Structure 1
């Protein structure tokens, strides 16, 4: 990419050159669509355009291109064609294209119904590292890895599965956490309960080798992480997504919105949401501190979005707490803000997000 080019002139003019190349790519893609010459490369280009525009804070264009990608993929029966290819480069390329569209749409909080329910069985997940480097595997993880016949899915499959719950959580946020007016959040029929149930159901299906209890990151050096970046980057993303999903579900603002007008609020529910927020924000901040200590470079704005969620919780709680505890919340907020600003050195979306976090009201 232009932003990471070794050419100094390219890096200095990254924004302008990126816009120029994006416009040229857009024109080529639209010409192919108009002429009816849609190929796998057309769908791949639409995914890249959508992602780049999202990172550059042009969400309208991003959604247009991602919508085009999923519509064309559905019309071309991409899911079916990817499923019918067995082995080889063609099968892997189609699988990656299919899951790239699904993952992109889910991370953007958009529907994937037209593609992922088109056929009963989805294509196999794209190839990715199936287990962490042995130096990072805990004794429990080593016992799991030594079991004969155990075949773990790659780490990217874990991210893809989590993205389904992430998309449902974004829908919950857009609805301000609301269900039907008479449905309280602790009801089994609420959006809160439905989304939490999705996450709990998923927990039974995720490969154990990728779980935190099977890994000991504290033993890893910066070089260890960098040498196996193809595993650790998606692994950290999976942790960020997981903890942020629970933080969003229990966000004090959304919970307060749902409590308005309700008499007889469940004290147990409020205690549970408070515990969840405390527990998962602590884990999230632990991972930020770990990444900073190991100088593991993060440039993906989805990490920054997750940090922004935690930052809003910390700043809200800082107004409730006094003295040392209130100061700790403000320090946590500042740590999240700096994390976002660092990613903002690469992407405009993060600069705007950092500005919003610093704008009163």
Structure 2
């Protein structure tokens, strides 16, 4: 119900559904695994999965500029769901599943509680990251490069997750494309694994997004850390390209996921890459423009099932069409040579127009793409039958056949394994080309923003592997 309402522009009802569901879970003690002895193991497992599904839904939508999480992490003390059978064949009931609040154990110790447990831990961190990014401006906050800053603590938690990430779930060991082609029985595991990879890299994209950093530092006084800005710049680009990589690999093996949240993560990566589509280096401009288009195409494919994805695609394309207005979001268009005439300060970092900033916030706040253009009053929570559904003045369309959960071999439903509804009749007109990159991309680059030439003279000092290299940091 909540997913359909979010997609159909009735976010006010969807938020109420999520909140009501979480209160019911609390009343029944499902978030604390109460009364576990009263149910069979299969019944208890089903209840745990319901509770964790609401945990993820709350962190997907409720962390926004207008809403807060209904239940914080501390309220979820139940064990993680059991791993899927393809992960742990012959698993014993005594298998240690762990909880969200387990201690870190020994430094660097790798304890495998299953890929779904990895996803839940990342959702926990995502909720904290979005609250940090979307919270009201705190002028007394520590600089983001400071040891005790919120960003530093979130970065530390992300790195801690990586040190405990079991080797069997790492990119090189999973061999995603081969298993997707040759082992259809592993689809449940691979679907969740792709979501883990999307979320793992998207956390870094969001925390080090150039627009987010611009907002966080522009109220500060004094000098800014040049090294921090440079590392953040490279970090956001690296992880946004990983999102492109996974979309490309899924396309190559015809592996499709229909979660609209993945479209939101792709939009965040696209706004990062948009910065580099205006490069004077034609090879860089062509490469990044192609990757930007792939991200938009991925969102456009999801819009065939989820109406709110159409809104998101329109916003990303509008931002791309307006790129002349805001230019680079970085403090220094001439590069990071280390020989700047003066340290960057909040007074000399670039600014965006109010319209561009509002558009960027709408893209970063997933919930904003799920609301109508008019303010909803409390009395409108249950609209009359004559009230039409609309999203930002778009004509209403019938809700498409939604993807339905498919039962895996052990009888359990996996949130990321779906079967498609009936095929769309051929006589229905094709949707507009939301995935097209505006023709202005790659033309009329921003004056003064150069990249190194063939001899390495001038411009942004990017490592070759970061922009054009065939091998990226695959150990991630």
- Alignment TM-score, normalising by the size of structure 1: 0.73
Residues 1:122 and 2:78 aligned together: yes
Q: Is the 8 A contact 1:83 1:122 kept in 2?
A: no
Summarize the Cα distance change of 1:126–1:65 in structure 2 as closer, same or farther, 3 Å threshold.
farther
The whole-number CA distance in structure 2 between the counterparts of 1:345 and 1:101 is 25
The whole-number CA distance in structure 2 between the counterparts of 1:262 and 1:230 is 50
Kindly state the Cα deviation for residue 113 of structure 1 after the two structures are TM-superposed. Answer: 6.8
Q: Is the 8 A contact 2:209 2:236 kept in 1?
A: yes
Gaps of 5+ in 1: 1-48, 134-149
Kindly state the Cα deviation for residue 291 of structure 1 after the two structures are TM-superposed. Answer: 0.7
Where 1:122 maps in the other structure, the secondary structure is coil
In structure 2, which of residues 44, 47, 58 is the aligned counterpart of residue 105 of structure 1?
58
* Partner in structure 2 of residue 84 of structure 1: 36
The whole-number CA distance in structure 1 between the counterparts of 2:6 and 2:226 is 40
Residues 1:250 and 2:208 aligned together: yes
Where 1:228 maps in the other structure, the secondary structure is helix
* Partner in structure 1 of residue 269 of structure 2: 310
CA distances 1:257-280 after superposition (whole Å, capped 9, x unpaired): 223144321122112212212321
Kindly state the Cα deviation for residue 322 of structure 1 after the two structures are TM-superposed. Answer: 4.4
Query: Which structure shows the higher helix fraction?
Result: 1
In structure 2, which of residues 140, 143, 146 is the aligned counterpart of residue 184 of structure 1?
143
The answer to which structure, 1 or 2, has the higher relative contact order (CA under 8 A, 6+ apart) is 2
Q: Is the 8 A contact 2:177 2:253 kept in 1?
A: no
The whole-number CA distance in structure 2 between the counterparts of 1:109 and 1:206 is 27
In structure 2, which of residues 5, 13, 16 is the aligned counterpart of residue 61 of structure 1?
13
Q: Is the 8 A contact 2:29 2:35 kept in 1?
A: no
CA distances 1:242-263 after superposition (whole Å, capped 9, x unpaired): 1111011110111122231443
Where 2:192 maps in the other structure, the secondary structure is helix
* Partner in structure 2 of residue 350 of structure 1: 309
Q: Is the 8 A contact 2:62 2:69 kept in 1?
A: no
1:169-318 to 2 correspondence within 5 Å?
169-175=129-135, 178-181=137-140, 183-220=142-179, 222-224=181-183, 226-260=184-218, 261-318=220-277
Q: Is the 8 A contact 1:129 1:230 kept in 2?
A: no
The whole-number CA distance in structure 1 between the counterparts of 2:172 and 2:18 is 36
* Partner in structure 2 of residue 325 of structure 1: 284
Summarize the Cα distance change of 1:183–1:152 in structure 2 as closer, same or farther, 3 Å threshold.
closer
The whole-number CA distance in structure 2 between the counterparts of 1:105 and 1:221 is 30
Task: Indicate the larger mover: 306-315 or 50-59.
Answer: 50-59
- Alignment TM-score, normalising by the size of structure 2: 0.57
The whole-number CA distance in structure 1 between the counterparts of 2:75 and 2:217 is 38
In structure 1, which of residues 140, 153, 161 is the aligned counterpart of residue 121 of structure 2?
161
Q: CA RMSD for the aligned pairs? A: 2.7
Where 1:117 maps in the other structure, the secondary structure is helix
Where 1:108 maps in the other structure, the secondary structure is helix
Q: Is the 8 A contact 1:129 1:155 kept in 2?
A: no
The whole-number CA distance in structure 1 between the counterparts of 2:134 and 2:72 is 22
Task: Indicate the larger mover: 226-235 or 213-222.
Answer: 213-222
Kindly state the Cα deviation for residue 293 of structure 1 after the two structures are TM-superposed. Answer: 0.8
Q: Is the 8 A contact 1:244 1:310 kept in 2?
A: yes
CA distances 1:77-116 after superposition (whole Å, capped 9, x unpaired): 2234457337522211211121111121122244557475
Specify the structure having the higher radius of gyration (Cα): 2
Gaps of 5+ in 2: 90-109, 323-355, 357-476
In structure 2, which of residues 288, 298, 301 is the aligned counterpart of residue 339 of structure 1?
298
* Partner in structure 2 of residue 145 of structure 1: none
